Amino acid sequence: MRKLVIIPAFNEASAIKATVDAIRSKAPTYDIIVINDHSRDNTKEVLEECGIPAINLPVNLGIGGAVQTGYKYGVRNGYDIAVQVDGDGQHDPMYLEALEKVLIENDCDLVIGSRFIDKEGFQSSSLRRSGIRYFTGLIKLLGRQVITDPTSGMRMVSRKTMELWAKDYPRDFPEPESCLMAIKSKLKVMEVPVIMKARQGGKSSIHMLKGAYYMIKVTFALILEGVRSHDDA
């Protein structure tokens, strides 16, 4: 069984090495690929010095395009499982084992690490939480399944989902939309409780000013995704 960790990185020079080291020690059976989304800092040099396998995008694509590159890499290199772990150290790799267990035992296609099942650890601000609850409701309405943490970046996928997302993946703010996409393609989606940490370095890609735009854009994208017809993946 070939397993891949996809780490999208944009200006993560300060945190990337610690993130990779943590994965290597806590989840040694996984191969690692960092997708360097044309960082402006010295992320590329740090990756080279530390001998971390990386794909360097020649222009900045944003989080969606970067993560999709990882799924394409996974499909082409015969991986059975891929998991996205953010480069900023928010996601503890000790959970990969739990995600993998659920994925395999339930013959599942997408397992999401959720902060809001056991409600422990970093819970984000109350404003963001209510935004996330709103997306949970919208996805339930459009896809008839409850996803407690649709914005979570910690997601493990089967080969099937990898192939679906390698073909088509949302560009910006991809998590809720790609999640609904998987549900509508009749893939089996489950959640596992995880504890996330606050960020180690870098900045969240969503700050206050962008918040309103984020809500409107994702709402619109989800409704479009709900209307769109899907072949079963």
Smallest gap, in angstroms, from Cβ of residue 74 to other proteins?
11
Rounded to the nearest whole angstrom, what is the least distance from the CB of residue 157 to other proteins in the complex?
18
Q: At 186, give phi and psi (nearest 5°).
A: 60, 35
Note whether 156 and 46 are within 8 A (CB).
Answer: no
Token look-up 């995600």 returns: 99
Which of residues 48 and 120 has its CB atom nearest to other proteins in the complex? 48
Q: Closer to other proteins at the Cβ: 90 or 161?
A: 161
In the complex with other proteins, the residue whose CB is nearer, 10 or 116, is 10
Residues 6 or more apart from 14 whose CB is under 8 A from it?
Answer: 200, 201, 202
Task: Centre a 10 Å sphere on the Cβ of residue 167 and count the other Cβ atoms it contains.
Answer: 12
**Minimum distance from residue 1 beta carbon to other proteins (Å):** 21
Interacting residues toward other proteins by CB under 8 A:
54-59, 61, 65, 68-69, 72-73, 76, 171
Tokens of 163: 């192939």
Smallest gap from Cβ 36 to other proteins, in A, equals: 9
Q: Is the Cβ of residue 65 or residue 143 nearer to other proteins in the bound state?
A: 65
Q: How many CB atoms lie within 10 A of CB 49?
A: 10
Spatial distance between the Cα atoms of 41 and 163, rounded to a whole number of angstroms: 32
Min CB(184)–other proteins separation in Å: 21
Residue 133 or 171 having the CB closest to other proteins: 171
> 82: helix, coil or strand?
strand
DSSP single-letter state for residue 91: S
CB of 106 vs other proteins, minimal distance in Å: 31
- Give the residue with the Cβ less far from other proteins, 69 or 84: 69
CB 40 within 8 A of CB 67: no
Tell which residue, 103, 91, 209, 87, has the closest CA to residue 156: 103
